[in-house]
Structure 1
């Protein structure tokens, strides 16, 4: 599988979970813009056959190289950024949950999920858009994970797939600032993640980021209970040149920390505080 096929398969799975992404992309293309993907991000557990170290070889096989490590102490996550083999390809951000930092009860739930994964699940790159590789948890288990880690709860029902793609604002012409991008997105009736401010980062840290609030779909949990759950979101990034005049290639941990919250803030929230959005379907 070549890198174009890889991202095409990822995109097809992503837009099935995130219809707003196609809506946003179509709107910008209609405005005469060319869409360039800045980066794609994944979430996983640090247990079982789908750990970060098990998934990383698929990126390396495509020509990616590790760029920088990141640690999110409050969210109990570790991550790496990866640079593509050519500058016209997207970067990748791969994170995993440090499960041992959760309670024994939460770890037991996660162990029950990952124990269902085939030992050879990660041998093909398609694992990165395979979705849930285990039976759906009960809604009670989902809620229990949510109490300790929204990331864990999200992963338990959504599974392994790109949780966001990212439009490069640097490649836009009419909407060449994040303010203009967000105004256009809101005109489509879509909400913006307010955690840490509508725009996270600054020219001083060489990266500005913003994101939508995640799309939502109804999922059936073990036992037949159905609930509407946040799925995936679309991000927007503008990079600035460093002291050497080269465009910044990394990620800003403080901003990424708030971008994670795109999957668990309410559309009406304007405080930047966490507010889970799980609701039963009628």
Structure 2
């Protein structure tokens, strides 16, 4: 096993441990599928960050590339004021990485000012893979600031409170032995008592798009805000993806903007 492969495996192991601390549903759901399938392959993970800061997308990209990844594609989510890149690894068993950033300069001046009060605290630093489970690089926001940002950007409020941590892991339905149906997978998850994101329907995308996706609604945890107030807020969720071969017979490995736009709603 090469050093880079070990590094990537260790990275995802550390990432998973950080993720299940605030997303206990993911461990329970993974165990549900491990029981029937023996192994659960992770299709992709996703990260959120703020543009125009030392942790902006252009600064995180070299860290992802250092693990042997290459950029796969780029995306714009105009309504949500986001841009994103997806990355793919030459080892097909390694998860894809989706990394987006909030284009804060497109927000209202009031919201920009609130976010800037926190992001100004980010120290310029040399970045390594552990940045992706480094959480907040700023003080916990006040509940008032969190709610003000939430009114304009759910993504921005989530990021202010949670920080730079993985937003979701994704079960690759293509690699399950028990079923290749996203409907069956989502039904099993519902039967186990977990809520499903229904924005745009439970299943986002179609076989014609070459990608069908579904997800849980985010877990919730009580956080203490900077003002001392405590409130339960959404943390992270678990996703499920089924990929289809294109006309060339090769299974599609990209992302579909319209699907991803609705998946973002899982933390709403």
User: RMSD over aligned Cα, in angstroms?
Assistant: 0.9
Aligned to 2:218, the other structure's residue is in SS state coil
Q: Report what 2:14 is aligned to.
A: 9
Question: TM-score scaled by structure 2?
Answer: 0.96
Q: Report what 1:142 is aligned to.
A: 146
Task: Measure the CA separation in 1 of the matches of 2:37 and 2:78.
Answer: 41
1:116-149 deviation digits (Å, cap 9, x = unpaired): 11111x5221111001111011111001101110
Aligned to 2:43, the other structure's residue is in SS state strand
Gaps of 5+ in 2: none
Pair 1:249-2:249 in alignment: no
Task: Measure the CA separation in 2 of the matches of 1:118 and 1:136.
Answer: 16
Aligned to 1:74, the other structure's residue is in SS state coil
1:47 pairs with one of 42, 49, 52: 52
Aligned to 2:62, the other structure's residue is in SS state helix
How many pairs were matched up?
A: 263
1:162-191 deviation digits (Å, cap 9, x = unpaired): 100000000012132111101110111000
Runs of 4+ in 1 over 3 A off after TM superposition: none
Q: CA deviation at 1:65?
A: 0.6
Question: TM-score scaled by structure 1?
Answer: 0.92
Pair 1:228-2:232 in alignment: yes
Task: Measure the CA separation in 2 of the matches of 1:113 and 1:44.
Answer: 13
Task: Measure the CA separation in 2 of the matches of 1:229 and 1:52.
Answer: 25
Q: CA deviation at 1:243?
A: 1.0
Q: Please tell me whether the aligned partners of residues 174 and 242 of structure 2 are also in contact (alpha carbons under 8 angstroms).
A: yes
Task: Measure the CA separation in 1 of the matches of 2:208 and 2:224.
Answer: 45
1:227-277 deviation digits (Å, cap 9, x = unpaired): 00000000000000011111101000000000000001xxxxxxxxxxxxx
Q: Please tell me whether the aligned partners of residues 33 and 174 of structure 1 are also in contact (alpha carbons under 8 angstroms).
A: no
Pair 1:217-2:224 in alignment: no
Q: CA deviation at 1:33?
A: 4.2
Gaps of 5+ in 1: 265-282
Q: CA deviation at 1:223?
A: 1.6
Task: Measure the CA separation in 1 of the matches of 2:69 and 2:232.
Answer: 36
Aligned to 2:223, the other structure's residue is in SS state strand
Task: Measure the CA separation in 1 of the matches of 2:128 and 2:250.
Answer: 35
Aligned to 2:48, the other structure's residue is in SS state strand
